[in-house]
Amino acid sequence: MGVQRHIDEVQSRPQSGLAVAVPTALGNNPLVRCNNVTMDAVRAFAADLHGILLGAKNVR
């Protein structure tokens, strides 16, 4: 009986899921963008370091 009552409560307020999901999605986009920028910098550094360690003459 307790489970059915909980299911009825959740079904009676479906908008609460959107109230949580929309801000989460909007907040996730800047974090993903920041992570991509950071990883691009790390990859560039790794490429430069790899070139230096191998003795490349043209390192950015």
The verdict on residue 46 lying in a domain is yes
Q: What's the pLDDT score for residue 12? A: 65
Residue 4 lies in a domain: no
Q: Is residue 26 part of a domain?
A: yes
Residue 29 domain-assigned (yes or no): yes
Q: Could you report the per-residue pLDDT of 8-46, keeping only the tens digit for each?
A: 776 666 666 777 788 888 888 999 999 999 999 999 999
> If phi over 0 gives left and psi between -120 and 50 gives alpha, with beta otherwise, what is residue 13?
beta
Residue 6 lies in a domain: no
Residue 7 domain flag? no
pTM of this structure? 0.58
8 domain-assigned: no
Is 52 contained in some domain? yes
- Spatial neighbors of 51 by CB under 8 A, at least 6 apart, are 58, 59
Range of the domain at 37: 19-60
